[in-house]
Amino acid sequence: MKMCAAMFHGPQDLTLEECEIPTISDDEILVKIRASTTCGTDRKLYLRKEKKYPSYFKPPSIFGHEVAGDIYKIGKNVEGYKIGQPVFVHDSAPCLKCYYCKIGRHSLCDNITWNWGTWTEFLRVPKEIIQCGNLIPIPDGLDYAEAALTEPLSCVLMGVERSNIGLGDVVVINGAGPIGLFWTNLVRNKGAKIIQTDLSNERLQIAKKLGADVILNPNEEEDIIESVKEYTDEHRGADIAVEAIGYPKTWETTIKMARKGGTVTLFGGPPPTSSISINTSLLHYNELKLLGVFHTTPRYVQASINLLANKKIDTDVFISEKVKLDDLDKIIDNLVNQKGIKTAIIP
């Protein structure tokens, strides 16, 4: 049997093709996809000019990684699931055996299993994802597109928790794309003051709706660093400065927005070959804490689908449009030109 898939071959080369429906082993599950959502990482990979990709993504490959659907087939060794059951499928699984897994740092796993390829009709779920608990039944009241948000939300949730945001803290969030807006949605519940920056006034208005106290467009400010500091006590800078975009230049800008002794959470992922420049006095004399955050863990995956099920996330803000997979040109246009926040792709 064949299925339709959006196949990525290289920079801006994404086409609909027919391919074989995956076969599964006795330890695996086959899921019929009901919704897959677009992501900023998809956009960066699609537009990247150099043919250097992360280890988990090797073209030619089916695009996408945020997904929910129904269990279609179950291997004979798999227990605890049933045919037709709605599930969220996470895009990876830690091995649970390496040094980093044993110390609870699952996102740094030496043997992580990746499972991309969701802009299609069926998805094979490896045994590692099943065994670590990253194949999760969708709670009642949560639709497929909403459930697919679990992947990016879980990454942001880990970033928020590791940033140790306290009551009354001033948090600047640079970026109001899907990731930056997830930060806003979560940080507003921390009792913190939120300053949000972005080049899109439309997205800044969404950030305001989600709970940002101050919104700033760098294109409309003479000096965005000083503008941010103006909204902090005694012009000292933010307690926590978050980069949720993924560009080296904004990493450097974000570092300069933090107060002495503050935390800088570098969340957005620049190309792996990039580098930044930091004035050493900011680290030594100002005692800044630079925090890198990558991916997520099974704990945060489960916590995130719980947050979604309990309606703690404004999902209507994040799912801008639902588009059929065969309208790939529209999906790509939405992604590249950042129309809306996320597009839900329906096979």
pLDDT digits (tens, 9 = 90+) for 290-340: 999 999 999 999 999 999 999 999 999 999 999 999 999 999 999 999 999
Q: For the segment 197-252, what is each residue's pLDDT rounded down to a tens digit?
A: 999 999 999 999 999 999 999 999 999 999 999 999 999 999 999 999 999 999 99
Verify that 70 and 119 share a domain, yes or no: yes
Q: For the segment 49-71, what is each residue's pLDDT rounded down to a tens digit?
A: 777 777 778 889 999 999 999 99
Verify that 23 and 136 share a domain, yes or no: yes
Q: For the segment 90-145, what is each residue's pLDDT rounded down to a tens digit?
A: 999 999 999 999 999 999 999 999 999 999 999 999 999 999 999 999 999 999 99
CATH number, residue 243: 3.40.50.720
pTM here is 0.96
Structural domain range at position 20 = 2-149+313-346
Q: For the segment 182-205, what is each residue's pLDDT rounded down to a tens digit?
A: 999 999 999 999 999 999 999 999
Verify that 131 and 28 share a domain, yes or no: yes
CATH number, residue 90: 3.90.180.10
Is 159 contained in some domain? no
Verify that 318 and 287 share a domain, yes or no: no
**Count of domains forming the chain:** 2
Judge contact between 116 and 65, C-beta under 8 A.
yes
Q: For the segment 81-91, what is each residue's pLDDT rounded down to a tens digit?
A: 999 999 999 99
Verify that 130 and 228 share a domain, yes or no: no
- Within 10 A of 243 (CB to CB), how many other CB atoms are there? 27
CA–CA dist 29, 127 (Å, integer): 8
Confidence (pLDDT) at 48: 83
Confidence (pLDDT) at 105: 97
- Within 10 A of 114 (CB to CB), how many other CB atoms are there? 17
Q: Which residues of 135-162 are buried (b: 16+ CB within 10 A; e: fewer)?
A: bbebeeebbbbbbbbbbbbbbbbbbbee
Confidence (pLDDT) at 89: 98
Verify that 140 and 172 share a domain, yes or no: no
Residues 6+ apart with CB under 8 A from 279: none
